[in-house]
Amino acid sequence: MGALRRFKVWRGDKAGGQLEDFKVEVNEGEVVLDILHRLQATQTPDLAVRWNCKAGKCGSCSMEVNGMPRLGCMTRMSTFAEDETVTVTPLRTFPVIRDLVTDVSFNYEKARDMPAFAPPSGVAPGEYRMQQVDVERSQEFRKCIECFLCQTTCHVVRDHDENKKAFAGPRYFIRAAELDMHPLDAKTDRKDFAHEQQGLGYCNITKCCTEVCPEHIKITDNAIIPMKERVVDNRYDPLVWLGRKIFRRDQLPAQAPAPHPVVAPRQPPPPRVGTHHIPLGVIWHKPQPDGLEAEVGPDGKMPLTEVTFDRAGAASPFGDNVTFPLPPDSLNYQHPKSDD
């Protein structure tokens, strides 16, 4: 049996609450979430705590341990001294529901406000081709597990609740950067959106989001600062503006250039002569269904959670009726038969 250690856990709900003291057994190799589970099993069966994977990948178990926002399942007990009291509190920035569970809808609302990936025109789903160097910046941000630790740490909303309306938070700055750097995204006003709607200017790059991110995403250096620089291009830099006028390099405000000539202009299909000697190859003219827009509620917005919606997550930018993977018979490529 392991040693008994002292814990303080916040218990309560929106009507009020307090830190309660516990003495719990701690064994070698355990994490804070294990201890909370032991508390549930032995002393406080009604302790509310969110968790799912216990592997640092679902982002459910966000809490504050000794005042620092952390994942309960990734905070090892061995990082504390034996005689140290470990204090566990709910995320401070969001409204509490009960005990360690908070209502993180703020983040889902901000996610909903973010325009989705905009499919480039003239390239059907399944025809997308991208080079690794072009997507790798965006890929870093795909590691996000939506634990919202960065959101709760950011002092812009943590210490100033009134900024919640104007400020989307670091999680959505990496989303903005991911899409603005995406080689195939067709939306051109993402910088303006970040500046005007997301409140990028509120961030004072003090890097706390980067400090707490369990996925070690370089939020500030690789997303926020590059986005701030992109906004400068658009709004504050007359040299770039002048250069654009003189050399007619309209790269930034204009459409993203057509990426690579993988997509041939649509032409009538080549006449088929025989069946065996002409490889089928790529069929560019394959008709594609037009995407249907997702249903919205009376407020003109999509529902926020799967509790009130038929699926988890946002609607597909390709249209509600397009499912992935595409059925093989609607793909535009057919492998040559082996006897060809």
Partner 1 sequence: MTTTSARPAVTPPAGTRAEIPAKTLRTDRWWLEPALTVLGLTVWLAYGLVHIAMQRWYFAEGPGYSYLTPFYSPCVNNGCVPESAHFGRFVPDWPLIPYALLSLPFLLLFRLTCYYYRRAYYRSFWLSPPACAVPDGHKAYTGETRFPLIFQNLHRYVFYAAVVISLINTYDLILSFHGTEGFGFGLGNVVLGVNVVLLWAYTVSCHSCRHIMGGRLKHFSAHPIRYRAWTFISMLNTQHKELAWITLGTLALTDFYVMAVAADWISDLRFIN
Binding site for ligand SF4 (CB under 6 A): 59, 144-150, 153-154, 156, 170-171, 174, 203-209, 212-215, 217, 219-220, 224
Judged by beta carbon, residue 19 or residue 58, the one nearer partner 1 is 19
Does residue 254 belong to the site contacting ligand FES (CB under 6 A)? Answer: no
Judged by beta carbon, residue 208 or residue 315, the one nearer partner 1 is 208
With 0-12 CB in 10 A as exposed, 13-18 as middle and 19+ as buried, what is 291?
Answer: middle
Binders in 287-326 for partner 1, by CB under 8 A: 304-305, 307-308
CB of 221 to partner 1, least distance (A): 7
CB proximity list for 27: less than 8 A, separation 6 or greater: 1, 2
From 46-54, 226-234, 283-291, 331-339, give the range in contact with partner 1 by CB under 8 A. Answer: 226-234
Does residue 237 belong to the site contacting partner 1 (CB under 8 A)? Answer: yes
Does residue 221 belong to the site contacting partner 1 (CB under 8 A)? Answer: yes
Beta carbons within 10 angstroms of residue 130's beta carbon: 14
Does residue 12 belong to the site contacting partner 1 (CB under 8 A)? Answer: yes
CB of 131 to partner 1, least distance (A): 4
Beta carbons within 10 angstroms of residue 276's beta carbon: 9
Distances (CA, A) of 30 to 33, 42, 45: 8, 16, 20
Judged by beta carbon, residue 175 or residue 322, the one nearer partner 1 is 175
Round to the nearest angstrom and report the end-to-end CA distance of the chain. 69
Closest CA to 58 of 175, 153, 144, 139: 144
Does residue 152 belong to the site contacting ligand FES (CB under 6 A)? Answer: no
Q: How far is CA 266 from the centre of its chain?
A: 35
CB of 71 to ligand SF4, least distance (A): 9
Binders in 36-95 for ligand FES, by CB under 6 A: 51-54, 56-61, 71-73
- Tokens 């993977």, residue? 325
Does residue 208 belong to the site contacting ligand FES (CB under 6 A)? Answer: no
Closest CA to 184 of 235, 236, 119, 278: 119
> Do residues 175 and 314 touch, judged by C-beta distance below 8 A?
no
Does residue 20 belong to the site contacting partner 1 (CB under 8 A)? Answer: no
Provide the token pair at 227: 């986005």
Does residue 100 belong to the site contacting ligand FES (CB under 6 A)? Answer: no
Judged by beta carbon, residue 6 or residue 207, the one nearer ligand SF4 is 207
Beta carbons within 10 angstroms of residue 26's beta carbon: 22
CB of 111 to ligand FES, least distance (A): 18
Does residue 90 belong to the site contacting partner 1 (CB under 8 A)? Answer: yes
Please give the residue ranges that form the binding site for ligand FES (CB under 6 A): 51-54, 56-61, 71-73
